[in-house]
Amino acid sequence: MAIATGGDGGDKPMSDINTTPLVDVMLVLLIIFLIAVPVAIQTVEKLEVPIMVSIPSDDKVENLLLTVTTTDEAGRTPGTIRTDYSGATRNGECRVYINNTTLVDSGELYDQAFEKLDNIVQRAGGPEAIRAQPELIPQVHIRGDVNAPWRCVAGTIFNVQAAGYPTVGFISNPVDPNG
C-alpha cells in the first residue's frame, strides 16, 4: 500500500491506481497484433484445396454436374480445342460449365437449372409426389478448380439453390491408394 506524504502532514493511504503496468501490457499486445495480423492475412491467400479420399456413390442421371473455373491471365477460356489456356487465376472471370461442356453465365445457369429441376418434379408427379420420395430429388455436384476464387463457387451455389436444388456437394480428386 502506498503512503502519500503531502504538505498537510497527514499520513493517509493513496487511492490512485497505478496505470503504468496496464499501459505497458497494452503496448506489448498492440505490437504483437500489428506483427501477427499481416502474417495471418498473407497465409490465407496461399490456401490449397486438399485432395481427399472420396467414397464412390451411385449417381442419379438427373444430378446436375457443374465445373467452376476462371479465365487465365490473358482472358482465355479453357476448352477442348487447343487454346493455349494457362490455368485459372484469382482475378479472372468466372466460368461455369454444365456437364463439363456447356458454358453458361449466372442467368443461364439459374434458368437451365430451374428448367431441369422443374422437368424432374413434373415427371415424378408434382411437388407432393417428390416430397413423398426424397430419393428422387436431384443433387448438384460442383467440381471447382483449385485456383478458382471463392466468389465464383459461392455464386454458383447461390444460383442453383435459388433455382430450387436443396443439396449441393463438391467433387474432389480421389487419393490413389497405390501411392
Residue-wise pLDDT tens digits, 96-148 = 888 877 788 888 889 999 998 888 888 888 888 888 887 888 889 998 887 78
Cα–Cα nearest to 160, from 77, 96, 103, 92: 96
Q: Give the C-alpha distances (Å, rounded to integers) separating 52 from 10, 74, 173, 175.
A: 76, 31, 7, 6
pLDDT confidence of residue 68: 86
164-169 mean pLDDT: 88
Q: Report residue 148 CA to chain centroid gap.
A: 10
pLDDT confidence of residue 58: 53
pTM of the model: 0.58
Alpha-carbon distance 86 to 147, whole Å?
12
59-79 mean pLDDT: 72
What's the mean pLDDT when you consider all of the chain?
77
Alpha-carbon distance 140 to 12, whole Å?
77
Give the position of cell 454444365: 98
